[in-house]
Amino acid sequence: MPFDETSLKTAAGWLADAKRVVVFTGAGVSAESGIDTFRDNTGLWRRFPPERFATLPGLLSLAVTEPDELARFLRAVLAPIAAARPNLAHLAIARLEHHVETTVVTQNIDGLHQEAGSTRVREIHGTLFDVVSPTGHKVRSLSRAELARMVAALERIERGPFKLPRLVRTVRPLMGLGRGLAHRPRVVLFGEHLAEPDWTSAQEDAAACDLMLVVGTSGEVYPAASLPERATDVGARVVGVGLETGYGDVWLHGKAGELLPRLVTDAFGDDVTRRG
Ligand code: OAD
């Protein structure tokens, strides 16, 4: 589908008039930072079926039966995130805060919205950077540098012998595999409740916004995918940005890293590609 200037102008006009914006993001917003999405052709779930890799019991059983497969999966998740930097889409979203009350609701666990400068971020599927106890209390934070060290160790495990003990030692900062499950990353796996208090806040934000930008999500995973509907129900306009077929009141077909800076420039005359 060709890029549509009229739709961009309409969306920019709505953004310029908006009082409260929610930006609802999925994996597509981080694709240009080098992090694969889940359901595109090279997506994570295409290579690692979620039935085996996206539940806690599945992961624990893999650790025992196929530690090298688990090491390969963990490396596929951690390596791109460890190396990622915010792209122009994250920066454009962060810049919105200079012009209008903005809340980011993200399904991503990569911390890139905060790194780009967004200050109100709801991480409804959790974050890889908080390690929590079984009751959900934060035990410690992780850094991208620690993730990078884990990635290097995982690579060595895939090549060497004694995989299970080495895997357990490597992922210990992320997952305590001692007596029962001592700690784990604050990441929502399949079949688990969304992260709180972020999910409750996200629903309130969606019900109080007058414009929602939906960026880089297939909208296939509920309950997260119900948020645009919630916005529509209260009369908010919904603008979609992404590579698939459109939905929302206006659909901007294209890459988030190209379209969002254009949108911010057209709405506010603010060039996101310049620093400051
Ligand atoms: P998906 O992989 O389902 O969808 C990503 C969307 O981003 C697709 O519509 C792509 O076309 C689009 N896309 C790809 N590159 C883009 C780009 N450069 N600019 C704009 N759009 C682009 O990922 P999510 O919708 O985020 O949950 O998936 C939702 C949830 O499913 C994830 O949070 C995760 C997963 O299972 C859990 O693990 C709980």
Q: Of all residues in the chain, what percent carry a pLDDT higher than 70?
A: 96
Q: Residue 169 — very low, low, confident or very high, per pLDDT cuts 50/70/90?
A: confident
Please tell me the pTM assigned to this model. 0.95
Task: Report the alpha-carbon angle 92-95-40, nearest 5.
Answer: 25
Is the Cβ–Cβ distance between 184 and 172 less than 8 Å? no
- Please tell me the distance from the alpha carbon of residue 226 to that of residue 248, in angstroms, as a whole number: 12
Residue nearest to ligand 1 atom 11, measured at CA: 243
Cβ atoms of 249 and 237 closer than 8 Å: yes
* Cβ pair 50, 77 in contact under 8 A: no
Residue 201 neighbours by CB distance under 10 Å: 15
Contacts 24+ apart (CB under 8 A), 146-153: 146/173, 147/78, 147/81, 147/82, 148/82, 148/83, 150/74, 150/78, 150/82, 150/174, 151/75, 151/78, 151/79, 151/82
Half-sphere exposure for 194 (CA within 13 Å, toward CB)? 21
CA of 50 to the centre of ligand 1 (A): 14
Q: What is the dihedral of CA 244, 119, 94, 199, to 10 degrees?
A: 10
Q: Binning pLDDT at 50, 70 and 90, where does residue 276 land?
A: low
- CA angle at residue 200 from 197 to 202, to 5 degrees? 105
Percent of the chain at pLDDT above 90?
72
Question: Binning pLDDT at 50, 70 and 90, where does residue 86 land?
Answer: very high
Cβ–ligand 1 distance for 43 under 6 Å, the answer yes
Sign of CA dihedral 228, 232, 233, 234: positive
pLDDT, averaged across the chain: 92
Using a 6 Å cutoff on CB, does residue 207 contact ligand 1?
Answer: no
**DSSP calls for 65-98:** H-HHHHHHHHHHHHHHHHH----HHHHHHHHHTT
- pLDDT of 55-71, one tens digit each? 888 888 888 888 888 88
Closest CA to 218 of 242, 183, 193: 242
Residue 2 has pLDDT above 70, yes or no: no
The predicted pLDDT at position 112 comes to 98
- Position 160 scores a pLDDT of 76
Q: How far is the CA of 155 from the centre of ligand 1 (A)?
A: 26
What are the catalytic residues? 125
Q: Whose CA is nearest to atom 16 of ligand 1?
A: 28
Closest residue by Cα to atom 35, ligand 1, is 38
* Cis-peptide into 197, omega within 30 deg: yes
Higher pLDDT, 214 or 140: 214
**Consecutive H or E run containing 156:** helix 144-159
Please give the structure tokens belonging to residue 110.
């990569």
What tokens were used for 168?
Answer: 């357990």
> What interhelical angle do 67-83 and 163-171 show, nearest 10?
30
38 lines ligand 1 (CB under 6 A): yes
- Whether 273 has a pLDDT exceeding 50, the answer reads yes
Alpha helices (runs of H) in 84-143, residue ranges in sequence order: 88-96, 112-116
SS3 250: strand
